[in-house]
Amino acid sequence: MTRRDLINLRKFVAPEFICGYGALHLAGRYARNFGMRQVLLVTDPEVRAEGWTEAVATSMTGAGVSFTVFDSVSPNPRSSEVMAGAEIYQSEECDGIVAVGGGSPMDCAKGIGIASSNIRDICTFEGVDRVRKPAPPLICIPTTAGSSADVSQFAIIMDEAERRKFAIISKMLVPDISLLDPEPLTTMPRELTVDTGMDALSHAIEAYVSTGSSPMTDVHALEAMKLTSNVLPAVIEDPGNLELRHLSLLASLHAGLAFSNASLGAVHAMAHSLGGIYDLAHGRCNALLLEHVISANYDAAPERYDRIGAIFGSESTSPAEKIAAFRRSLGIMETLTDLGVREEIIHTLAGLASTDPCMATNPRRFTCEDIERIYEDAL
Ligand SMILES: [Fe+2]
């Protein structure tokens, strides 16, 4: 960033959030404070099975707030699921939404909110600032530490007809309040902890090198990287440790504040097209692409990448190699080929990634051929 860049106009949007042990149990009180009388409680079957939906429901009942549970949400939330949720929101005459879960239920809840208030199909909101009417009040309670949907202006939805994931980016998607409680994180299986942690790390790195970065987003991005480099290896060894889970939640929060305002880059653009076609876990796609995008981007922001590298060790290896070593230390050893990605599809994947809104703030301009080469490197 040059001195001239420092005075470029930038805005910073963040929701109100409460962070700490027991925050989840404030859901009912805040729903009532927002004037909600009939809530659509958006979640998914896994979170429900772990008992976290029930804990939020108990809080609602205690505060005298009625609710309807909607848990038909896939790991990569579909447009039809959003529209089904919006239909229930209307038919149950809901006046607010509470989302409990990872990025999928939260993104689905955001989609339900804007589809309901604007009475439009969710696929018509694709892109930046395409939402006209504000969504109803939204409370988010994350049960993973990675997506940062609980603080971001983003929602990622799968267009089933076209079998691709698309991004909706709008201030209207920022939740009204997020309740960040470390306790629900303790039931995450190891793989989910790793994948969501690598998602948070990808958010922080992409925000830090984004052409939309600012001194304010840099602070959060760097803190997220420092926390992740220390905490993620520790938390997978001690998953029930509330202090470590809290620190991983903070890492995700910092990364979310950074990327929500600086936007992202090629890793996410390419992960979205992979996730759309192959229906793969988002964090795992990021983890397998990250080091290859860093190599391809390095010359466009060498000082920034060197600073990232310094956080991940003092060896004389490149930042891309340090991130690769970090990935391996977490037990992620496979390639895109191992996930079933075939070479013949790379041209299609690259075409989709090149038009993803996240690509607009990547530090280097990539041609479709450049993107194809990165996918090939990750095979
Ligand atoms: Fe992400």
pLDDT of residue 3: 60
Q: 148 alpha carbon to ligand 1 midpoint, in Å?
A: 8
Using CA atoms, how far apart are residues 265 and 300, in angstroms rounded to an integer?
Answer: 13
Q: Whole-angstrom Cα distance, residue 166 to residue 164?
A: 6
User: Residue 83: which region, alpha, beta or left (left: phi > 0; alpha: psi -120 to 50)?
Assistant: alpha
Helix and strand numbers (H, E) in the chain are: 15, 9
Using the mean position of ligand 1's atoms as its centre, give its distance from the Cα of residue 292 in Å.
16
Residue 5's pLDDT band (cuts 50, 70, 90): low
In the reported structure, the alpha carbon of residue 200 is separated from the centroid of ligand 1 by a whole-number distance in angstroms of 7
**What is the 359 CA–ligand 1 centroid distance (Å)?**
13
Tokens of 340: 């079933």
Of 196, 208, 307, nearest to 259 by C-alpha is 208
CA of 10 to the centre of ligand 1 (A): 22
**For residue 353, which phi and psi values (nearest 5 degrees)?**
-65, -35
Could you tell me the distance, in angstroms and rounded to a whole number, from the CA of residue 63 to the centre of ligand 1? 34
**Which tens digit of pLDDT belongs to each residue from 331-344?**
999 999 999 999 99
Instruction: Give the pLDDT band (50/70/90) at residue 173.
Output: very high
User: 315 C-alpha vs ligand 1 centroid, how far in Å?
Assistant: 28
Two structure tokens written together for 164: 């691709």
| pLDDT, tens digit, 9 for 90 and up, residues 253-268 | 999 999 999 999 999 9
How far apart CA 102 and CA 143 sit, in angstroms, is 5
Asked if 22 and 181 count as a contact pair (C-beta separation under 8 A), the reply is yes
Among the listed residues 264, 269, 270, the one whose alpha carbon sits nearest the alpha carbon of residue 345: 270
Going from the Cα of 61 to the center of ligand 1, the distance in angstroms, rounded, reads 33
Task: Kindly give the distance from the C-alpha atom of residue 66 to the centroid of ligand 1, in angstroms, as a whole number.
Answer: 32
Nearest by Cα to 93 from 37, 135, 177, 149: 37
The model's confidence at residue 315, banded by pLDDT at 50, 70 and 90, is confident
Mean pLDDT of the chain: 95
> Which domains are seen in the chain, by residue range?
16-184 (3.40.50.1970), 188-378 (1.20.1090.10)
Task: Please list all protein residues whose beta carbon sits less than 5 angstroms from ligand 1, which is an ion.
Answer: 199
Tokens of 167: 């991004």
Residues 202 and 226: their CA atoms lie apart, in Å, by 13
**Residue 191 confidence (pLDDT):** 95
Tell me the pLDDT tens digit for each residue of 201-240. Answer: 999 999 999 999 999 999 999 999 999 999 999 999 999 9
pLDDT band for position 177 (cuts 50, 70, 90): very high
| Nearest one of 110, 118, 182, 116 to 152, comparing CA atoms | 110
Which structure tokens are listed for 6? 């420092």
Over residues 266-312, the pLDDT tens digits come to 999 999 999 989 989 999 999 999 999 999 999 999 999 999 999 99
The stretch 135-154 carries a mean pLDDT of 95
pTM: 0.94
CA of 282 to the centre of ligand 1 (A): 7
pLDDT tens-place string over residues 81-108: 999 999 999 999 999 999 999 999 999 9
Predicted confidence at residue 1, as pLDDT, reads 58
Instruction: Round to whole Å and give the CA distance between 243 and 229.
Output: 16
Whether 30 has a pLDDT exceeding 80, the answer reads yes
| Spatial contact of 378 and 336, defined as CB atoms under 8 Å apart | yes
Q: How far is the CA of 199 from the centre of ligand 1 (A)?
A: 5
